[in-house]
Structure 1
């Protein structure tokens, strides 16, 4: 553990840090292509508008090209986090500033992950998640302190016996011949999740934990890994070579900007 502290005295502070006036998008850049870029842009705009701030369309191409330029320096397959904040301003909720964009990049390292999920209870009230708000992820960090996970297990987050999501991914369950994915407050409408819904391959609905007993297969969905196969939930083994998983994989692999 590092006990060092970096202490600074400032007159202005970024409002994303001061008041969590911040939202972000995470996505892959593969061979210069971003899958569902327009959806990421629209959600970023929607999130910023929730603070009463405007991210004008005229900035879209400039921001996209900056993301592509930054990603190219990392290689042909790069993970990008695009964060938008209210900018630096003096003390006070009513202060205004010039919005700031931060672009972070990380080479994407393809690795086979073994995913075993364990149901855990979300300890806070559920709020709508129309965008990826930094504050929502701060709450998730606090929620983690309430969970005791078995070795090698990742959380499957629930609220009052209703399934929500993985830690940073939507979940989909193959149950009685169709893919189901949770919907409702506390669930981010992820872009990969929405893509499959629009393709007619998944049905959004409220999902009780009782569904797990009849679940044949499960996948996690986000714009970093796209699709990850789940090996087990609550020590119940799942089918990892299910034909329904192959259908999703084949659909994604045909899209520009996707690599599984």
Structure 2
């Protein structure tokens, strides 16, 4: 079942058409959520990021779009998919209503909520090989729009095709200054000694919810120092560890980049702390 503007519909229902602005212009924002046993992990952070993104894109925020209203709609959709007692991935997409060309006829919005079951209620660190490469065909813009979680993800899509064609598990994206910005599906962290570095928002990376949570955890840690600084491609092969973060997988360690192989000791340390933070959220 999917939730379209509060109405629960079967997945094969036809409720969007060729006029949809998310399809025609990428005029949409979304949040990917992890819901476990009826609890939405880091829901307040997701909600306030969604509201901020809608304001930046000049979307009209409906009066009923309170934190409690959207939470109820999400959990209603989770329940309709028999996931109330199971871990699941939820996508909440908000798009401007039909009408207009590049300039919209209205700033009013509609929303869709989708649900997919997950295997584990916990963040589990994968032990599998995970090889990555740089994607250098196109670049991420270093501006505020790149910080938003919009449906304008064509660079990520083409990078995903490149990774598949070349037998990589993921790719790292660059901005116009040739700085490493993020992975296809998450923020990047680089470990060197007791320093953990992640790119700043001004470089064009996604303003990720898990990025924010992990940064808070590292800042409170007695051993590791957090640096929010640009990452040069030349640093990658000198790093002890590289990993990505997103709300679905938690932490995904990279095991190989070109000739360099990485450990995952720091990832193992912080995955447990992320699980603890998620249970308290």
Are the counterparts in 2 of residues 27 and 80 from structure 1 also a CA contact under 8 Å? yes
For 1:17, the equivalent position in structure 2 comes to: 23
Are the counterparts in 1 of residues 140 and 174 from structure 2 also a CA contact under 8 Å? no
1:96 aligns with 2:106: yes
State the Cα deviation string for residues 116-157 of structure 1 (Å, max 9, x = none). Answer: 11122151451422320111x134324556778532442122
Once the 2 structures are TM-superposed, how far is the Cα of residue 206 of structure 1 from its aligned partner?
0.4
Are the counterparts in 1 of residues 160 and 170 from structure 2 also a CA contact under 8 Å? no
Aligned residue pairs, count: 247
1:194 aligns with 2:204: no
When the two structures are superposed, what TM-score results if normalisation uses the length of structure 1?
Answer: 0.83
Does 124-133 or 80-89 show the bigger shift? 124-133
1:239 pairs, out of 263, 274, 278, with 263
1:255 aligns with 2:255: no
Q: Unmatched 5+ residue regions in structure 2?
A: 1-13
Question: RMSD of aligned C-alpha atoms?
Answer: 2.7
When the two structures are superposed, what TM-score results if normalisation uses the length of structure 2?
Answer: 0.78
For 1:121, the equivalent position in structure 2 comes to: 136
Show the 5 A alignment for 1:1-260: 13-56=19-62, 58-59=64-65, 60-72=67-79, 73-75=81-83, 76-89=86-99, 93-96=103-106, 98-110=108-120, 112=126, 113-124=128-139, 126-128=141-143, 129-135=146-152, 137-142=153-158, 150-159=166-175, 160-183=177-200, 184-199=202-217, 200=219, 202-240=226-264, 242=265, 244-257=266-279
SS in 2 for 1:46: helix
Change (3 A) 1:55 1:235: farther
What is the distance in 2 between the residues matched to 1:11 and 1:155?
33
SS in 1 for 2:181: strand
What is the distance in 2 between the residues matched to 1:91 and 1:164?
31
Q: Unmatched 5+ residue regions in structure 1?
A: 1-7
